[in-house]
Amino acid sequence: MRQRHLTLTLQNLTVFVKDCDTPVLNSVSFRSESGRLTAVMGPSGSGKTTLLHSLCGRLPLDSGCLKLGRQAVSRKTQKGFGYVTQEDVFFPQLTLRQMLQFTAEVRLGSEVGPAEKMRRIGRVVEALELEKCIDTRIGDFLDKGLSGGEKRRASIACELLHDPRVLLLDEPTSGLDASLAHSIVRLLHDWATSNNRIVITSIHQPSSHIYHVFDDVLLLVDGHVCYRGQRKDMANYFDCIGVPFPKDWNPADYLMEAVTSGKRALILEKGRELFNDASLPPPMSPVGTADPGCGYDAIPMRETGDTFVFKADQWRDGLMQDTGAASSATESQPLKFLESAREEQRKASWWAQFRALVVSSLRSFAVFPLVQYTVFTVLVSALWFHIQRREEDIKDILGLLFYLTLSQSNINILEPLSSFTEDLTIVQHELLANKYKISAYYLAKTVTEAPTQIILPLISLSIIFWAADLGSAGTYVEFTSMLLLNVLACQGMGMFFSLVSRRPKANLAA
């Protein structure tokens, strides 16, 4: 069953940043059709990432209107949009296969069975050419794992798995060689047409091959829309406003050259005149008396002598004809996941998210606490081995108790603080992506860290007690109970500080 046609429409979006009077985005309006691939282009600082953040809900829509079809987009709907950010953020201890399995478990509802989840993973891995590194640890700056390009493709794979109706990508080709970048953009185009999805990607300066894969282009300069429409009409538009594209240039290269040179003022001026109107469908084909060679009828805009106008009806007819052709693409296109896919898949239940997080945390289990407690136990047992029961040895016993209390306090305050701090960037990223609930993460983290929080201290204290020969079984119960209560209290303090602190890394360093 083919998905119904959808349109994402943004009207009159203006975004300000704190302590700045100049808007990052100024009256931005455009629309994107399902089954088409839209490129958001512009020089650095033009507002591309801010626009994507606004579309997916990471920045509030303080002004403007966002619609999907005829319905205003709610926060809940925005959370269902797929978004590939510029940063590739993963749990470094997991392999790529484990990360994809985790993503499938937390983002796909119960209507997608285990076999279908594995099939999706297999198809995405094959399409993104990740077979060779499927069992490689993702790694980080200390533990080398996937390369930068492989991580970039892994980020795209995680979003394609849940088959979002709207997919946003921020510089998806960064870190990729020219051939692989072209294949990724081609894949996104094929996925958009075969699944009838809306795909919008920012891209700074694509190669000529990549540029010609896009269906539509939105050009931003200093937060203003300087072009919006079909990619194939872009050269005609710039020719008509007096900025013709040289035949021997890559259009994208020349475009970036033009908007950063002396022609920038002209492009901005025409953009403000023609594209600041929030009425949609967006303009596509310029017509005017200034340049009869453009091949359009002259229709004056108003009595002031403006010479360019855009035919909305002509654009609409052409676009819908092109979109119909795109939507009728063959069903054998890559990544056609479900022949009878629902428009909106249900998210995985809280319990399913919790189970997946437990499995992921166990796979990410660090051996450092085990090594730490082993070294600590051996050293303390050797230093206080078989304390004599004499009056002059009472100071040694008190010294042991003081050292155990102090060391266990430090270890168990710093351990959860460092643990939650290490996960902070990853968890914030995944919560923004609406992968799982914070309650599911917190409980799974608590459950899986129970061995290091209770069992390891208990074993360590038991060995130290008998090595130091501190007394009978009754004394052992009192000894371990007192110190375990101290351990739990300190762990609670560490968790509390990690959760309430705005700058946990700075607090940890302090």
Per-residue pLDDT tens over the stretch 422-459: 677 788 888 887 788 888 888 888 788 777 778 888 88
More confident residue, 154 or 368: 154
The pair of three-digit structure tokens given for residue 355, joined into one six-digit string: 């189970």
Instruction: Return the sign of the alpha-carbon dihedral for residues 181, 182, 185, 187.
Output: negative
Each residue's pLDDT tens digit, 317-338: 433 334 343 333 333 345 555 4
Instruction: Calculate the average pLDDT of the chain.
Output: 78
Helices 394-432 and 368-383 pack at an angle, to 10 degrees, of 170
* pLDDT tens digits, 120-160: 999 999 988 899 999 999 887 777 888 888 899 999 999 99
**What CA–CA distance (Å, rounded) separates 358 from 445?**
7
* pLDDT score for 429: 80
Asked whether residue 496 carries a pLDDT value surpassing 90, the answer given is no
The pLDDT value recorded for residue 346 is: 58
Q: What are the sequence ranges of the domains in the chain?
A: 7-81+164-327, 350-509
Q: Could you give the count of Cα atoms lying within 13 Å of 228 in the half-sphere of its Cβ?
A: 27
pLDDT band at 198 (very low <50, low <70, confident <90, very high): very high
Residue 44 has pLDDT above 50, yes or no: yes
- What single string gives the DSSP state of each residue in 63-128? SSEEEETTEEPPHHHHHTSEEE-SS----TTSBHHHHHHHHHHHHS-TTS-HHHHHHHHHHHHHHT
Mean pLDDT throughout 166-180?
89
The span from the CA of 483 to the CA of 487, in Å, is 6
SS3 at position 166: strand
CB 336 within 8 A of CB 194: yes
Tell me the pLDDT band of 185, cut-offs 50, 70 and 90.
Answer: very high
Contact between 448 and 369 under an 8 Å Cβ cutoff? The reply is: no
Closest listed residue to residue 210, CA positions, set 181, 190, 188: 181
CATH number belonging to the domain at 7-81+164-327, selected among 3.50.50.60, 3.40.50.300, 2.40.30.270, 2.40.50.140: 3.40.50.300
